[in-house]
Structure 1
Amino acid sequence: MTGQPLPEPAASPTATDAGVPSTSRPPRPRWRETLGLLLRNPTAAGSALVLLGIVLMAIFDESIAPSGANQISVEDRLQAPSWEHPFGTDDLGRDILSRVILGAGVSLRVGFLAVGIALLIGTVIGLLAGYYGRWVDDVLMRFMDMLFAFPAVLLAIAILAVRGPGSGNTALAIGIVYVPIFARVTRASVLGVREEVYVRASRSVGASDLRLLTRHVLPNAAPPIIVQTSISLAFAVLAEAALSFLGLGTQPPNPSWGLMLAEGRGYIDLAWWLAFFPGMAIFLTVLCFNLLGDGLRDVLDPRQRTLMAGGGR
């Protein structure tokens, strides 16, 4: 028996060989994990659901509205809320519910366009200032400080005074006002990311600045920018309403929540519903954007994210 080789021990059966599925699972994508944590926050989830309904209402406004925005019925002027006109009618007999629904498209379109302009320009400026630093940072941020020194409403009014009233010019004016805010937020976030190990490692192997900014710096600096976007959308809707109320934003006969407030101001004692329902639409939209921003801040913050993922509050 000394010359015979010893038999090899049999391999232990794995979970798969035994017919039992393996318990190891691939990690969930980050966006799915973020969405799951956001849905666990009832306030943020409810706000997102309400905003989704408002956005869908703005998209399909003409299909949902009972009548046209400027469909006049003199015999029905200043009718109180009823089954026929749930939100009442204005001084020209136009249905307030229809004008609120159709005004959502105008107000949200201006808000999203304004924040899109500010997000695009401000993010690029913040990326360049935070990544390169030195004289690039000094020149760009001093120019942003000059814009930031003007009161926001006065700067928007000055821009509209030069370009004239209208929805497009209102979006441009609000967007210019918010550019310094996005530039500051982006720069502060980039300063905390540009010296990370993965950025220095990519730079050491010869990665271009454009690749570093788009593939490494911006994705990891994005959470504060996303939160700021939600909050800025709330203030953009509010700013559009304020400018339209002053007669510098959306012009008649186009429906706008701010313009409806201005039209109902003279009838506040006689017909309270003229200003109440568009005011509530502005209030609900701004509140939901702010609550969603708070929920996004908690979900995207690493420490809060860890607590929420572990079941903490």
Structure 2
Amino acid sequence: MTRAVSLFAVLATVGLLPWLSGRDPALTVLRARSAEQEPTEEALSAIRRDLGLDAGPLSLLGDWAAGLVRGDLGTSWVSGTDILPSVASGLQVSLGLMAAALTVAVLLAVALVTPVLVRGRGSAGAVAAMAAAVPEFLLATVALLVCGVWLGWLPTSGWQGPAYMILPALALGVPAGGLLGRLVADALPAVLDERWVELWRGAGVSRTRISAAALRRVLPPLVPQFGMVAVGLTGGAVAVEAVFAVPGIGRTALGAAKSQDLPLLQGSVLALLALGLVTGALAALVRRRLLGPALRDAGLSLPPARPVRAHPAVPVVLATVLLAAIGWGLLRDPYAVDTTARLASPSWAYPLGTDGLGRDVLARLGHGAASTVGTAAAVCLLSLLAGLALGFLPGVAAGAADIANALPPVIVGILVAAAAGPGTGGAALAVALISWPPLAAHAAALVQEVRASAFLTAQRAIGARPLWILTRHVLPSVAAPVARHALLRLPGIALALASLGFLGLGAQPPAPEWGLLLDESRAYIERAPWAALAPAVALALLAGLAVSGAASARGRGARRATGHTIRKETARVVRGTAVGA
């Protein structure tokens, strides 16, 4: 029920975009049809009547839904052409790009998993973790700069043949393949240590057959994660298509949002949403097929993965380098313009060079940390509070979480930007709307575990009030682990905000936000690559902090079992209750 309500809310939001938009759609259409015509009230009223914008939100939503049922997505406000052919053409290009990206991802995942199957131990390593953490828009920019501009190996824009597909597919497929390979490779060693593997080896079963059985054992619990990776490709495709000027559905949606061509935006977002939902449904179907009828309802889960060992000095070094650059930049003026030093190379006066207006890149990098990381901290706190609250209502949160997981941040950012305009607040709202499900799931699992503990039964038996139990036992046991989980997600949230800034949906010029800095430097990336490399390296260091921090947390968690503290508290309270009685 909650899933249906959440899906209806998303569809209603898409259908009401012309009404929700903070701008006057009639003015947008008038400018598109005749830029020189005076926007008089009579002209604007005529356009509103022509488009049906003066009929009210319910009538607007009903007309849009009726057209959707007939297969009519409307007419573009800018070009005046039917939207369905444009959406179908862009979707065809995006599906081809995603298929190529999935091929790259599978090949990379196989390369990461094969050594574990051969040796029976090991992990995907730090390289895979870094590949999984680097956002697609950043990898696309670096690939364009290195392989397209410096080396000249491959074309950097357009969609005219297989060669034009290579760099976009690599930018999309490498992070996805790193994540898939890491998930499987981390889970395999624990499975290969299970009793049945030893029995099969003793019976003379071949290594190939054991490896196939181990993969079949590993894959079903991980298939939902694979589905989320595929959903993430739809969001990553928007940025990659923008970088390489690929005429896909993501670039179409982004262009429609910026030009306020809301009917075209509605059709594009609807196609992207359908891609995400279909991908999630296919993942669920594959999982059911892999489990079979006997294990379908058994709740099959993997044994705990072996901890990833991260050297404790790695996060310290990364944080030191990043903080040093930020601190140095904060001492300088990010808005001072020196036209005589435009696109100046790094020097003592400008350690990281200058941008196209002659502004200090180091200063803008340092001051941009407040916008990028500070906003991410606020979003992280909001997601933590929402996750804790919804963790006590798992039935309500489950359906909404499924829909939220099917919406990448870029898609939500496009919708928010279309309704409220681009800006830091809109980008923060977009990321907050979809960043709570993992925290809510974590909180729900902990709440269920704590409520089933014996010490709570003892507390109820001695007459403790529910509010006292909630505030003194349940919340402290749940809040601390979920808060640590939220803190580990802080770099990822910052990267999501940077991606929206990169696409022009977040902070606006002249704000020194990291994603915006990377976007501004694309125009002169051939002449001044250092202006793009500075925010790119900062974002890569942020991704490295996310990986190393998560690895350290997993290592500590493996050494200290999840339920150990609760079991100790159970024994202590039960003993105290017995003595008091």
Could you state the TM-score of these two structures normalised by the residue count of structure 1?
0.73
Q: Which residue of 2 aligns with 1:280?
A: 537
**Residues 1:122 and 2:390 are matched in the alignment:** no
Quote the RMSD (CA, aligned, Å): 2.6
Residue from 298, 308, 315 that aligns with 1:47: 315
1:67 to 332, 349, 358: 332
- In the alignment, what sits opposite 2:431? 174
SS in 2 for 1:206: coil
1:190 Cα deviation from its structure 2 partner:
1.9
2:444 counterpart of 1:187: yes
Q: 2:477 & 2:360 partners in 1: Cα distance? A: 48
Q: Which amino acid aligns with 1:43?
A: H
Maintained 8 Å contact 2:344/2:353: yes
User: Which structure 1 residue ranges, 5 or more long, are not aligned?
Assistant: 1-40, 130-136, 307-313
1:260, 1:275 within 8 Å by CA — same for their partners in 2? Answer: yes
After superposition, the C-alpha distances for 1:17-76 in whole angstroms (9 at most, x for unaligned) are: xxxxxxxxxxxxxxxxxxxxxxxx873454156447756976xx6x85353111000001
Counterparts of residues 118-267 of structure 1 (less than 5 Å): 118-126=383-391, 128-129=392-393, 137-222=394-479, 224-267=481-524
Structure 2 residue corresponding to 1:86, chosen from 351, 368, 377: 351
Of stretches 242-251 and 65-74 in structure 1, the one that deviates more from structure 2 is 65-74
In structure 2, the gaps of 5 or more residues are: 1-308, 565-581
* Bigger shift: residues 82-91 or 143-152: 143-152
Select between 214-223 and 198-207 the one with higher mean Cα deviation. 214-223
Q: Cα deviations across residues 240-260 of structure 1 (Å, max 9, x unaligned)?
A: 110001111011111011000
8 Å CA contact retained: 1:87, 1:96: yes
Change (3 A) 1:234 1:78: same
What is the CA distance between 1:283 and its match in structure 2?
0.8
State how far apart, in whole Å, the 2-side matches of 1:123 and 1:199 are: 19
- Tell me if structure 2 keeps the 8 A contact 1:117–1:172: no
Higher Cα radius of gyration:
1
**For 1:159, what is the secondary structure of its paired residue?**
helix
State yes or no: 1:293 paired with 2:561.
no
The residue type equivalent to 1:77 in the other structure is R
Identity %: 33
Q: In structure 1, what residue type is equivalent to 2:315?
A: S
Q: Tell me the CA shift for residue 187 of structure 1.
A: 0.8
Query: Aligned pair 1:108/2:365, yes or no?
Result: no
* Residues 1:176 and 1:48: Cα distance change in structure 2 (over 3 Å): farther
Residues 213 and 51 (structure 1), Cα distance of their counterparts in 2 relative to 1, 3 Å cut = farther
State the 1:224 CA deviation.
Answer: 4.5
| Number of residue pairs matched by the alignment | 255
Q: 1:84 to 1:57 in 2, by over 3 A?
A: closer
User: For residue 181 of structure 1, what is the amino acid of its counterpart?
Assistant: P
Higher relative contact order (CA 8 A, sep 6+): 1
CA 1:206 to 1:55, structure 2 compared with 1: closer, same or farther past 3 Å?
Answer: farther
Letter aligned with residue 73 of structure 1? D
More helix by share: 2
